[in-house]
Amino acid sequence: MIDQFQRPLHDLRISVTDRCNFRCVYCMPKEVFGKDFAFMERDELLSFEEMTRLARISVAHGVEKIRLTGGEPLLRKGIEELVAMLAALRTPDGRPIDIAMTTNGSVLALKARALKDAGLKRVTVSLDSLDDATFRAMNDVKFPVAKVLNSLDVAHSVGLGPIKINMVLKRGQNDQDIVAMARHFKGTPYILRFIEFMDVGSSNGWEMGDVVPSAEVVARINAELPLEEVAPNKTGETSRRWRYRDGEGEIGVISSVTQSFCHSCSRARVSTDGKLFTCLFATEGHDLRALMRGGCTDEQLAEVLKQIWRERTDRYSELRSAETGRLRASGKKRIEMSYIGG
């Protein structure tokens, strides 16, 4: 399946819950996601069977990698059952699929073994600072760094690797910790990735001045811990790799804002309530839950999926400035990261 810019559908991200126990300032700010915020009701969520059905059809049409995300995916009850159902899927030529998860690590230590046994291959854990005060302020629920570090160790010990660590940078909030984070994870089994703060959703008050460009991140680390660029593992990889010249591992930078990678974007996202989005910056999704609950067959679902992907022209990040203006003028709201999954 190829879209209008010759991009295949290769990755599927499934948001398994819109809820989260953190209130990260760049994702679910408390002012918006407060006590009165209406999260989805249980019957609105896709069931594990519905998610697996969509995954199975997607895998039959080219998807080889599935990432579970959210919200906080580990808050969805029985998530390891979903992992086991997805792990049983095979590509048309009989290969297992690559199943990963992005998590804030808050309860990963408790769940890592069950997830591994169910067939999860690896996790990406978000951690924005090693400094407790900074991290507590960024997650805005006073969650301590030590618990996330413990989760990393447990996940590593049960074999959920290679483990990546996502650090979202917001200028003035945690950019002073860039080198300390690099130093801490240098020479460990963990691959640290620095992510530019994105203008996703409509809640996080994004401004260009908040973004720490990846080029600056690399320069700041390189000044103390010399780096050299490495070729990507595969095409379509969002992260650019840099390794330490002394051979002690590598870092990644994800430059969604300053160097877009739309030209190779092969990802589709399914929201918690079963809408298919072909771009993180979409304003509307395609309601696959309605089709499934309306009794459509697998063949019909596959046709819809093929048609949506064939018509896809998304390249928001490439057009960012023009699109941001157009969206603001139209009054349309972009969907939130916690709903569609990162």
When CB distances to ligand SAM are compared, the closest residue is: 342
Binder among 168, 191, 211, 270 for ligand SAM (CB under 6 A): 168
Binder among 100, 130, 279, 301 for ligand SF4 (CB under 6 A): 279
Residues 22-41 vs ligand SAM: string with x where CB under 6 A?
----xx--------------
- Our finding on whether 195 is near ligand SAM (CB under 6 A) is yes
- Our finding on whether 285 is near ligand SAM (CB under 6 A) is no
Query: Of ligand SAM, ligand SF4, none, which one sits near residue 277, judging by CB under 5 to 8 A according to partner kind?
Result: none
- Our finding on whether 251 is near ligand SF4 (CB under 6 A) is no
Number of residues forming the site for ligand SF4 (CB under 6 A)? 23
Binder among 14, 100, 118, 280 for ligand SF4 (CB under 6 A): 280
- Our finding on whether 20 is near ligand SF4 (CB under 6 A) is yes
Binder among 17, 52, 58, 102 for ligand SAM (CB under 6 A): 102
- Our finding on whether 72 is near ligand SAM (CB under 6 A) is yes
- Our finding on whether 20 is near ligand SAM (CB under 6 A) is yes
Residue entry with tokens 């700010």:
29
Residues that bind ligand SAM (CB under 6 A): 20, 26-27, 69-70, 72, 102-104, 126, 166, 168, 195, 197-198, 200, 204, 337-338, 342
Residues that bind ligand SF4 (CB under 6 A): 20, 22-24, 27-28, 70-72, 104, 126, 260-262, 265, 279-281, 314-317, 338
